[in-house]
Each structure stands twice: as structure tokens, then as C-alpha cells.
Amino acid sequence: MNESLLKEKARAIRLLCVESSARTNSSHLGCSLSMADLMAYLYFEKMDQTTDSFILSKGHAAIGLYATLYERGIINQNEFESYHSDGSQLLAHPNHYVNGVDVSTGSLGHGPAIAAGLAWGKSISKQTGTVYCLLGDGECQEGTVWEALIFISRGLFNNLVLIIDANNYQGFSDSSDSLFAQQKLLGMLKGTGLDVREVDGHNFSEIHRSLSDPLAKPRILFARTTKGKGVSYMENRFEWHYKSPNPEQLAQALEELK
Ligand SMILES: [Mg+2]
């Protein structure tokens, strides 16, 4: 693993997210920054672009996905810069007409079930490759997540990794802990019998270690992250689920990230 490359890519993804949010006055910045290290790891270290699949179940963080696809060279500069403008395919939630986006998402809770179907299909047809699905901790309060987990835990296939971006914040409320304690959520996830691992979602060595051994069963990474990671005034501040930076805030954010 080239950790300095991954750090540089995560930093580039965060810069693109902040600049795009400011330019287009779009929301969901804090939850895009929290997942940037996980995205850098998946796209620049882990995933095989021809055989593996990725689904962003927490689709509101679309800018984090588009920034990653742009950094990886899967979408071009013109496409990326059209984000959130009239006529663009780069909507505020992932759209499967965009190169590199297999599934349109954003209606929360649907990603794990779609990922499970893809993984099972690959397994039945003897295709190689792993399906990765990133979801939010608040999203785990959706019932469909648990319907999917019941199916996933039946032992029909191994080739699936669910990654929970556990930033402890969610829309329309405050901390996820205040609604449903993360320790309780973790206990319920472990109760599925799947291979559940806790990691620091900003520590590349930990992420790498947690994904290096072969999948004996579907795996869940409970990745503890910081909402707004990388910009001091956004970190652990709920309002950055919705706000975009004004010019002064943008200047400070760029200064800190650069
Ligand atoms: Mg969250």
C-alpha cells in the first residue's frame, strides 16, 4: 500500500468536494468529507475496476463519489465541473447514466439489498470480483438495511463488503448516538453473524488490515469517521450536512486542505 499516494488522493477528493459545494451552493459536504479516505482507499488501492463493483448507498454524498471518479480518470473535467448544473447528468445524487456509476441511489437503505443481489449474481455465475457498498450510520436506521442483512447472512455468497461511514451525524437530527447509540447498532450488526470489524475510517493502515484477508463470509466494516473531516470549522458540526461554504469559509477551507 502506498500510503502517501492515498493521503494525497484523499486530500484532492476533499478539495474538489469543498470547491464544488461552494461553486454550486450544494449541500451534503460534511458527509462527503467523512468518507474521503475510504473512497481513496477503495479506488486507488483496493478495487479492481474491471471485476469489482461499488455502490454509494448514502447517495446524498454524491459529490464525494464524483470527485473520486474524476480523480481516478473515470469521468472527465467537463463532466465533473457540470455537477449540479442544468442539463448535467451529475445530479445531487448518483445517477447511473454517469460513467462509473452502476446504480442510481439516494433513497436511503436500498444499497445493501442491491449490492447483495449483485454479489449473489456474480457468485452464481462464477464471476470473480467483490461488491463494495458504502452506507451511512444514520442510514442503518432504515428497515430495508435489515431485510438485506437477513438475506446477506444466509451464507449464499461471500463476495460482499458493506462499509459503514460511522460519522455519528445524520440529517434532520443531531448526533446519531442521540437517536440510537452506535454501540447498540454495532451489537445488532454483530448479531447477524457476519464478519464485523471496527476500524478508524481515516487510518489507511487499519483500513488496509481490515480488508487484506480473503472473505470467508460477507464483511461489515464499521468505520469510525469524523463528519467534515479535514476542515476544522466543519468537523463534528451537524449543520455542515446542509451548508455550503461562503467565500470566506471557502478560503479558510482551501488554506487548511492545501
Ligand atoms: Mg452519518
Ligand 1 centroid to Cα of residue 127, in Å, is 33
**Which segments within 71-218 are labelled E, that is strand?**
131-136, 160-166, 195-200
Tell me how far apart the terminal alpha carbons of the chain are, to the nearest angstrom.
23
CA distance 100 to 179: 34
Q: What is the DSSP letter of 105?
A: -
Statement: residue 140 has pLDDT above 80: yes
Reading phi first (left if > 0) and then psi (alpha if -120 to 50, else beta), residue 230 is in left
Ligand 1 geometric centre to CA of 225 (Å):
9
Segment 100-116 mean pLDDT = 96
Q: How far is the CA of 165 from the centre of ligand 1 (A)?
A: 6
Output the CA 100–ligand 1 centroid distance in Å. Answer: 24
Left (φ > 0), alpha (ψ -120 to 50) or beta: where does 225 sit? beta
Q: Is the pLDDT of residue 175 over 90?
A: no
Q: How far is the CA of 126 from the centre of ligand 1 (A)?
A: 35
| CA–CA distance, 28 with 245 (Å, rounded to integer) | 11
Q: What is the Å distance from ligand 1's center to 202 Cα?
A: 15
pLDDT of residue 173: 74
Contact 235, 241 (CB under 8 A): no
What's the whole-number mean pLDDT along residues 72-82?
Answer: 97
Confidence category of residue 90, pLDDT binned at 50, 70, 90 = very high
- pLDDT, mean over the chain: 96
Residues 61 and 28: beta-carbon distance below 8 Å: yes
Grid cell in block for residue 97: 447514466
Rounded CA gap, 214 and 212, in Å? 7
- Is the model more confident about 114 or about 178? 114
161 Cα–ligand 1 center, Å? 18
- Cα of 170 vs centre of ligand 1, distance in Å, is 4
User: Separation of 140 CA from ligand 1 center, angstroms?
Assistant: 9
In a 3-state reduction of DSSP, which class is residue 165?
Answer: strand
pTM score, whole prediction: 0.97
**What is the rounded average pLDDT of the residues 75-92?**
95
pLDDT of 228: 96
Mean pLDDT of 37-47: 98
pLDDT, residue 129, reads 97
Q: Which residues contact 208 (CB under 8 A, 6 or more apart)?
A: 1, 41, 45
Q: Spelled out in words, what is the top-level CATH class assigned to the domain 3-257?
A: alpha beta
Task: Name the nearest CA neighbour of 155 among 221, 220, 222, 216.
Answer: 216
